[in-house]
Amino acid sequence: MNFEAQLAGEVRSSGLDPDEQSARRRRRQIAIAAGIGIALLVVVAIWLGWHKLHGGSSGASVKAEIPRVSVLSARISPMTTNVTGTGAIAARRDMPVGVVGEGGRVIQVLAEPGAWVKAGQILAVIERSVQAQQTAALAASVQVARADAKLAEANLTRARALVGNGFISKADLESKIALRDAATARVNVAIAQLNQARATMARLDVRAPAAGLVLTRTVEPGQIVSAGSGVLFHIADKGEMEMKLAVNEADIAKVSPGDTARVTPVGAPAAVAGTVWQVSPVVDAQSRQGIARILLRYDPTLRPGGFAQASITTGQGQAIMLPQSAVQSDAVGNFVYVIDRNNRIVRRPVQTGMVADTGVAIMSGLSSGEQVVATAGGFLSPGDAVQPVRVAGG
């Protein structure tokens, strides 16, 4: 039996007209299509609502994940150019004092380290009993010589009175004159010997060659000293000190005599003002350093032999100053991170200058007003998106 015969049989069995059956089937198909359309609309509406809800929260989450970084504005500030370093403190003019005479046993020491002395002041006294007796004997010989000279002068005077009367020949007169001259010469010799003895005895006193501050003393009463005993005292001329600052060859050219300096001895509560008075004309071939000598007036904190830090002011200028945390370096060189208009990280190569307590001077590579990452630059990379947060004072 074919399909048409079967369909005709069903129509006859249902008792409906074939046209009515076709109309019912079309209405049923329309209803099914309408239901499917409504279901699709519901699904689309649900999907749009879910996307709107969850899509917005995702954007907020992404925004929340963008790191916050501290930034500051690059500004040009007054800058003092300094050369810094360390060095030793010493007397500017160290005067070693020893025995200049024959020496002997020290009977008295009159100066202590830290004492101020005048030029010629006695520092130590050496026993001189033998020299005193020799001096007394020479003083007596001077008196004898003077007496002989006086007698010779008197004899000459009488001879001159008698030569006119013919009682004394001219030869005798000339003999009297020679005797008088010899006696006078003996007086001069005796006086010279006495003065020599007195000078020799005076040299037994150890004296200060100039006014200054006694730094060291290496002699005690009872000690036997001589010209070979070495230095007994060290004296700083006028009490002036100096610091010998070792400066690398790149900076030594910036230092000139007359530059002001601040010197802080180790352990001292404050710095001492000084002035560069000499710059070494040579650079050490091994260390590649030169010496700047800083004159320092007396201060109790300045102790020869001690170390100190010094800062020499070599000039004034202007530059962008950044905290040391903002400046980074790698194999390529020094750089900073700046924030562009899109709040993204940009690497900026810079040339740095002096480093001070106030920060690092940027000599080139950065413009005033640019936003610079102040901290945490080591955790960022060029192109990263950030949320800039201005630091106080930046």
The closest of 347, 338, 345, 329 to 374, measured between CA atoms, is: 338
Cα dist from 168 to 162, 183, 221, 347, whole Å: 6, 21, 66, 122
Cα dist from 14 to 2, 20, 21, 108, 232, whole Å: 19, 11, 10, 156, 148
288 close to 248: Cβ distance less than 8 angstroms: yes
132 close to 254: Cβ distance less than 8 angstroms: no
- SS3 state of residue 262: strand
Banded pLDDT at 111 (limits 50, 70, 90): very high
Banded pLDDT at 20 (limits 50, 70, 90): low
- The lowest-confidence range among 162-171, 191-200, 228-237 is 162-171
- The lowest-confidence range among 148-157, 220-229, 335-344 is 148-157
Which single residue is written with the structure tokens 């990452």?
373
Query: How many Å apart are CA 217 and CA 98, to the nearest integer?
Result: 10
Banded pLDDT at 320 (limits 50, 70, 90): confident
Query: How many Å apart are CA 156 and CA 123, to the nearest integer?
Result: 51
Query: At a CB cut-off of 8 Å and minimum separation 6, what does 354 contact?
Result: 79, 81, 82, 360, 361
What pLDDT was estimated at residue 222? 92
- The lowest-confidence range among 26-40, 182-196, 224-238 is 26-40
| pTM passes above 0.85 | no
Query: How many Å apart are CA 253 and CA 280, to the nearest integer?
Result: 10
What pLDDT was estimated at residue 208? 94
Sign of CA dihedral 196, 202, 203, 208: negative
What percent of the chain is predicted at pLDDT more than 70?
84
The domain made up of 68-80+318-390 has a fold known as 2.40.420
| Boundaries of every domain in the chain | 3-65, 68-80+318-390, 84-91+238-316, 96-217
Mean pLDDT of 281-292: 90
Mean pLDDT of 375-391: 83
Query: How many Å apart are CA 187 and CA 162, to the nearest integer?
Result: 27
CA angle 226, 232, 236 (to 5 degrees): 140
Banded pLDDT at 4 (limits 50, 70, 90): very low
pLDDT, tens digit, 9 for 90 and up, residues 60-107? 454 557 888 888 888 888 777 788 888 999 999 999 999 988 888 999
Query: How many Å apart are CA 280 and CA 85, to the nearest integer?
Result: 15
What pLDDT was estimated at residue 74? 87
What pLDDT was estimated at residue 202? 81
- CATH code, residues 84-91+238-316: 2.40.30.170
